[in-house]
Homo-oligomer: A and B are copies of this chain.
Amino acid sequence: MLERLPETVKVFEVGPRDGLQNEPRQVSTQDKVRLIEALAAAGLKNIELTSFVSPKWIPQLADGLAVARAVKLPADVNTSALVPNFKGYQSAKEAGLRQIALFMSATESHSQKNINKGIADALSVLKELSQAAKADRLTVRAYLSVVFFCPYEGRVNPASVAKLLLELQNMSIDEISLGDTIGAATPKQVVELIKLISSDIDLKKIALHFHDTMGTALANVLAGLESGITTFDASIGGMGGCPYAPGAAGNLATEDLVYLLNESGIKTGIDLEKLVDCGKLAQEILGKELPGRYLKACLSSREKKVRAQAEAQA
């Protein structure tokens, strides 16, 4: 075991979009910019800045264009934003982003409930938008959600996921992120799905997007690493995507992921201490504690040190 780990891993930060989108407290444009710049300063080279969807759907990200225009980032950061349609695509282009991110579901029911479109129609939209992006020399990322479990259909057939991946690959999409949307996947499912697709799909183009609802996210990352996947999505502090009660874990926390990768001897180019500062900043901006485990342990241990120093001086 652990004999086939990659040397380097790409961490794709989704906090400023996926993390923030369901947050009830309105975050200012300035705070969003601060957070994104801090994430880049911690070494993250792939950041989803915002989403260009209708403010009616996601009021939190209504200032997407302002955010994307205001951030000052190093030249080698891949700036991405979620776009649902041509209007959103125009905004991404206007903002000078490098990548657009598209989304669709792996099941018919989730697709209908989520975007009011079936899979076939969603694929058409993805095809048109990715062609436009290619013409404009933007790269394209696609999110495929509910690839393991669907809240409406239960366990998802890996063969149907494999079929969709082939269609997406034929559209020359640069990266496809497979989402465990309800956070119920386990390593066995991860290994089985990757094994099934590995003969037809270039695994370098596959990212895994886990939620830590059941505490299985890092076990799934390990299964993904061993199966040949080298890109993982994560959200600073574990922000966002809570399908259950308040306090329940949502997205895999970037710090938890980077801790595991560091300790496994895998390079990410990310400074874990600075990442903890980003998590602290995210907590301040949102005015609440985030579910990330490493963050909690680290901040508590910093606090203890500060208290001990204060007591020693008293």
Contacts and interface: CB of A to CB of B under 8 A. Distances in A.
A218 B1 CA distance: 15
A150 interface: no
Interface stretch (A6-14, A25-33, A139-147, A245-253): A245-253
Contacts of A299: 245
A244 B303 CA distance: 10
A188 interface: yes
Given A214-B256, A218-B216, A300 B248 contact: yes
Interface string A1-27: 110100000000000000000000000
Given A214-B256, A216-B260, A227-B1, A244 B297 contact: yes
Nearest to A292: B215
Interface of A: 1-2, 4, 183, 186-189, 191, 212-219, 221-223, 226-227, 244-245, 247-249, 253, 256, 259-260, 263-265, 289, 292-294, 296-297, 299-301, 303
A38 to B, nearest CB: 22
B293 A188 contact: no
A18 to B, nearest CB: 18
B296 A263 contact: no
A214 B294 contact: yes
Contact of A213 (B188, B249, B260, B297): B297
B297 A187 contact: no
A12 to B, nearest CB: 18
* 7 nearest A-B pairs in the assembled complex, by CB-CB distance: A215-B293, A186-B263, A245-B300, A244-B300, A1-B226, A218-B219, A219-B219
In the assembly, how many copies of this chain are there? 2
A245 B296 contact: yes
A184 to B, nearest CB: 8
A215 B214 contact: no
Given A1-B223, A216-B218, A186 B260 contact: yes
A156 B227 CA distance: 30
Nearest to A216: B218
Nearest to A4: B1
A260 B223 contact: no
Contact of A294 (B191, B215, B260): B215
Given A253-B215, A293-B214, A294-B215, A187 B244 contact: no
A2 B187 contact: yes
A113 to B, nearest CB: 15
B187 A264 contact: yes
Contacts of A253: 215
Contact of A244 (B212, B245, B263, B296): B296
B186 A264 contact: yes
Nearest to A186: B263
A305 to B, nearest CB: 12
Contacts of A191: 1-2
Contacts of A245: 296, 299-300, 303
Contact of A249 (B226, B248, B293): B293
Contacts of A247: 289, 296
